[in-house]
Amino acid sequence: MATHIPPAIAKIAPDGNLTPRQARHFMINMLKRRVRSGTGSSQEFSHRRTATNPWPDLRPFLQSIDWAIVGDVATRAYMPERMTKDLDILVHQNSKDAVLAKLQQAGYQIIEQLTIPGYSLRSPESVEVDVLFRNDTWLKDALNQPAHDSAGYPVISLPYLILLKMDAQRAQDWADVSRMLESVLKVTLTPISTYVGYWRCKPCFH
């Protein structure tokens, strides 16, 4: 099934692939005008936060490691939950050996190394968990101060999640950004605008 490309993005790049400059300008313009939520049932739905899809609870195994959920599962903390096939977590590159060892001790099996820094693992319940590694200058702060979803799982906070989705630049990521910003509080826009500034200097991003 083809991924829906938001009209605002398709107008700039029909295939959904924005250049870094286009992405930065798109985000800044979006933040300035801030899409307003609807009324009635549509508004109620956009503000709904659930954690009905079952995902492995990694908290007992990773207590001594800073980590947070990212990717599609993380979006349920900021917009209505949707189905996705795997759980993505982010840890610092320096914690690579420790996190893999702890998960393997808990019965997780390494399936393969990913094309980006990280590994795909299978839980004892056969759930796919992707462990991603980065060493960005902002990563320590992001992992030290996570948000939490309705299940209480640590989720990367919204400004950093938007930053990661800008970096990925898939059409689905732009659609997620648009939906998350529909219900964001105005007070949240300032930190989001600040982190969009990282896009102006891609070497600072890693």
Asked whether residue 97 carries a pLDDT value surpassing 90, the answer given is yes
pLDDT one-digit tens code per residue, 56-74:
999 999 999 999 999 999 9
pLDDT one-digit tens code per residue, 163-193:
888 777 777 887 888 788 776 655 455 556 6
Beta-strand pair 147-148/154-155: antiparallel
1 is a domain residue: no
64 is a domain residue: yes
103 is a domain residue: yes
Q: What is the pLDDT of residue 44?
A: 57
Q: What is the pLDDT of residue 183?
A: 63
Strands (E), the chain: 67-70, 87-92, 109-113, 118-122, 128-134, 147-148, 154-155
Q: 76 with 149: CB under 8 angstroms?
A: yes
Whole-angstrom Cα distance, residue 134 to residue 205? 10
- Please choose, from the candidates 197, 173, 198, the residue with its C-alpha nearest in 3D space to the C-alpha of residue 75: 173
pLDDT one-digit tens code per residue, 132-171:
999 988 899 999 999 999 999 999 998 889 888 877 777 7
- 130/194: higher pLDDT: 130
Work out how many domains the chain is built from and give that number. Answer: 1
9 torsion bin: left (phi>0), alpha (psi -120 to 50), beta (else): alpha
Which domain CATH number covers 138? 3.30.460.40
The parent domain of residue 139 ranges over 7-205
Hey, what amino acid is at 115?
Answer: T
Residue 204's pLDDT band (boundaries 50, 70, 90)? very low
- Expressed in percent and rounded to 5, the helix, strand and coil fractions of the chain are 45, 15, 40
Asked whether residue 120 carries a pLDDT value surpassing 90, the answer given is yes
**How large is the greatest C-alpha to C-alpha distance in the chain, in angstroms?**
49
59 is a domain residue: yes
Mean pLDDT, range 24-36, rounded to an integer = 59
